[in-house]
Structure 1
Amino acid sequence: MKTIAIIPARGNSKRLPNKNIKLLGDVPLLVHSIHYAKQQDFIDAIYVSTNDEDIKHVALNFGAKVIDRPNELSGDLEPTVTALKHVLESLDYDVENVVLLQPTNPLRPKNLLKEAFQLFNDTMSESLFTVTRNHQKFGTVENAVFKPFNYCTGQRSQDLEPLYFENGLLYITKVEHILNNQIITEKAYPLIINHPFASIDIDTQEDFEYAEFLLKKDSR
């Protein structure tokens, strides 16, 4: 059985230039995901998919393998699954499972991936992804009128019907589904995790500064 980790890290970030190699703590952003994958004894290889020479250099220096991603698969609107498929189609050996680690979610609980992979195998899932409970009151605004969506006016937050969001911390998927353009399958296992790290998804400078704050707090 072959299980690989794939870290998709394209260049040309618009809102936060060079974010994937911007230093978070002592190492570039994407290296947090490389280090995390290296801690797992069930991961046979770690690949970074990128179209950027600087990102490629950093990934190689920190022990990951690199798959050069074509520019036509690196646009803003290109789905992540195409990068994963390109990596798989570039390999000369068979793979059974793919662990997707997004570099923009750099901080993860230490044992999360190990526990998730065990659950993935125990439940014989097609795929697994992490979700977090939402505790906010949402609504729509129509004709300058706010209409509650997930609650009734006056309802307490603790009494809301449980809703969850995809937090992006990690994904595990059988290869055949990725080759069929799916990362989260219809029968995907939603692993619930409630942790401050689940709120980090770096896209702006403010997101980055929040990640720095949590990293420093976690290292105390």
Structure 2
Amino acid sequence: MKTIAIIPARGGSKRIPEKNIQIFDGLPLLAHSIIYAQKNKTFIDEIYVSTDNVEIKKIALQFGAKVIDRPASISGDLEPTVSALKHVLEAIDSSDVENVVLLQATNPLRPENLLSEAFEIYNSGSYDSLFTVSRNHQKFGKIIEGKYQPFNYTIGQRSQDLEPLYFENGLLYITKAHLIMSAIVISENAFPLEVEHAFAKVDIDTFEDLDYAKFISAARNDKK
């Protein structure tokens, strides 16, 4: 049975035009996730890019990925990512595909061994999906009728004493293919893999995010 990687990369992006092909660290943003998947070829059998954009398609093919042309009907701003994943499985012969690794092009920086370690955990447990999370260290609140109401703390509480809360950092997801066909990426039996790393804070959606990613990358290269 196969494990495939899917990288959704549609063309439409309002806050950063042509976001998925912006140059980052000398390469198109999309290319970083393709290369990352290629470094895990010991268990990833095929790499697919789902796109509705001609330029993205050219870059994906240039870097060695297979391309599935995504129809406009599932390429809108409000369409969930799982629609693209399901479409890929429907477009290929997926009868022998057991696992799907989702890598988002907007997360170009990932710890080198994260995917291999995550896949080992996923296989060794009785899990049918896995996703990466990071702990929140901020104090959140709501503003209701003009008044601030703390959400995850009490006024005066130290941040180090906060009850642990976590967020999806988007670094990677692994899911059984049959769940994808049921429009599920994170199942009730999913393993939340905690990742405490500077890369977990990089998710490019705005130019400010892109600048931050470049800063983090430059800091990493300075340490080499």
Alignment TM class, shorter chain as reference? over 0.9
Distance 1:13 1:199 in 2: 20
Counterparts of 1:159 and 1:204 in 2: how far apart (Å)?
32
Match of 1:45 in 2: 46
2-side partners of 1:24 and 1:67: how far apart?
Answer: 24
Shift of 1:92: 1.9
SS of 2:97's partner is coil
SS at match of 2:58: helix
> Please, which runs of 5 or more residues in structure 1 have no aligned partner?
none
**How do 1:1-220 and structure 2 match up within 5 A?**
1-40=1-40, 41-93=42-94, 94-220=96-222
In structure 1, C-alpha distance between the alignment counterparts of 2:156 and 2:12, rounded to whole Å: 45
The percentage of counterpart residues that share the same residue type is: 64
SS in 2 for 1:66: strand
Please state how far the C-alpha of 1:145 moved relative to its aligned partner: 1.2
Partner letter of residue 80 of structure 2?
P
CA distance in 2, matches of 1:219, 1:91: 39
- How many angstroms apart in 1 are the aligned matches of 2:155 and 2:13? 40
Structure 1 residue identity aligned to 2:88: V
- For structure 2, which runs of at least 5 residues remain unmatched after alignment? none
Distance 1:46 1:191 in 2: 23
Q: Where do 4+ consecutive residues of structure 1 move more than 2 Å?
A: none
Superposition deviation, residue 124 in structure 1: 2.5
* Cα distance in 1 between the residues matched to 2:36 and 2:221: 15
SS in 2 for 1:96: strand
One-letter identity of the residue aligned with 1:166: E
CA distance in 2, matches of 1:199, 1:18: 22
How far apart in 1 are the matches of 2:179 and 2:93?
A: 19
Q: Using the TM superposition, give the Cα deviation of residue 126 of structure 1 relative to its aligned residue in structure 2, in angstroms.
A: 0.8
Q: Output one character per residue of 1:102-160: Cα deviation in whole Å (capped at 9) or x when no partner.
A: 00011000000000000000012110000000010011111221111101111100000
Structural RMSD (CA): 0.7
TM-score (norm 2): 0.97
Q: Secondary structure at the match of 1:153?
A: coil
Question: Number of matched residues?
Answer: 220
